Structure 1
Amino acid sequence: MRHAHEDPELLAVVRRYVTPERRYLKLGGPMLGLQSPEYDRFVRRLSEDAGAITAEEIATLLEGGWRERRTAAWLIAVSQRTEFRERLGGLLLASEVCCVGLAYCVALASFGTPRDAGLLAAYLDRYLRRPDLAYDQTVAMGALLYIDLNLRGDQAARFLVPGGLWQQWLERASHMQLTTAPVTYLSLIRRLCAFVDECADAT
Structure 2
Amino acid sequence: MNNKEIEAIKLHIAGATIRHTPPFDDLKPFNNNFELEKDFIDRWIIPYYLNIGNTNTEWINKLTTIKHEITTDIIQTNLGDFNWRSRQTGAFFAAITNQTQFIDSIGTHLLKSEVAFAGKVYCKVFASFNLPKCVDYLNLYLDYYLTKHDLWFEQRDAMEAILYLDKLNATNHFEKHFSLWTEFIKNKPNWEVEIKTDNLEKQLKIIETVKTHM
- Shorter-chain TM-score above 0.5: yes
- Contact 1:88-1:104 within 8 A present in 2 as well: yes
Q: Is residue 84 from structure 1 mapped to residue 102 from structure 2 by the alignment?
A: yes
Deviation for aligned residue 1:135: 0.3
85, 88, 94: which is aligned to 1:67? 85
Deviation for aligned residue 1:61: 0.7
Deviations 1:89-148 (A, max 9, x none): 110111111111111011100001222111101000110001111100001000011111
Letter in 2 for 1:54: T
The percent identity for this pair of structures is 27
SS at match of 1:25: coil
Q: Is residue 201 from structure 1 mapped to residue 198 from structure 2 by the alignment?
A: no
164, 188, 191: which is aligned to 2:199? 188
Letter in 1 for 2:180: L
Q: TM-score, normalised by structure 2?
A: 0.78
Deviation for aligned residue 1:49: 2.9
Equivalent-residue separation in structure 2 for 1:87 and 1:50 (angstroms) = 21
Give the aligned partner of residue 49 of structure 2: 24
Deviation for aligned residue 1:192: 1.3
Pairwise CA RMSD: 2.1
- Contact 2:98-2:129 within 8 A present in 1 as well: yes
Deviation for aligned residue 1:62: 0.9
Deviation for aligned residue 1:72: 1.0
SS at match of 2:115: coil
Aligned pairs for 1:138-153 (under 5 A) are: 138-153=156-171
Task: Write 1 or 2 for the structure with the bigger share of helix.
Answer: 1
- Contact 1:127-1:133 within 8 A present in 2 as well: yes
Q: Is residue 11 from structure 1 mapped to residue 38 from structure 2 by the alignment?
A: yes
Deviation for aligned residue 1:175: 2.4
- Contact 2:45-2:89 within 8 A present in 1 as well: yes
175, 184, 191: which is aligned to 1:169? 184
Q: Is residue 54 from structure 1 mapped to residue 67 from structure 2 by the alignment?
A: no
* Unmatched 5+ stretches in structure 2: 1-10, 15-33
Deviations 1:135-190 (A, max 9, x none): 00001000011111101111222112xxx21121122xx2254422112xx22221
Letter in 2 for 1:179: E
Question: In the superposition, relative to structure 1, how do residues 26 and 177 fare at CA in structure 2: closer, same or farther (>3 Å)?
Answer: same
119, 123, 131: which is aligned to 1:105? 123
Equivalent-residue separation in structure 2 for 1:25 and 1:8 (angstroms) = 21
Q: TM-score, normalised by structure 1?
A: 0.82
Deviations 1:33-79 (A, max 9, x none): xxxxxx33321222333332211221111122111111111111111
Give the aligned partner of residue 137 of structure 2: 119
Equivalent-residue separation in structure 1 for 2:207 and 2:169 (angstroms) = 18
Letter in 2 for 1:11: K
SS at match of 1:24: coil
- Contact 1:89-1:119 within 8 A present in 2 as well: yes
Letter in 2 for 1:85: I
- Contact 1:109-1:146 within 8 A present in 2 as well: yes
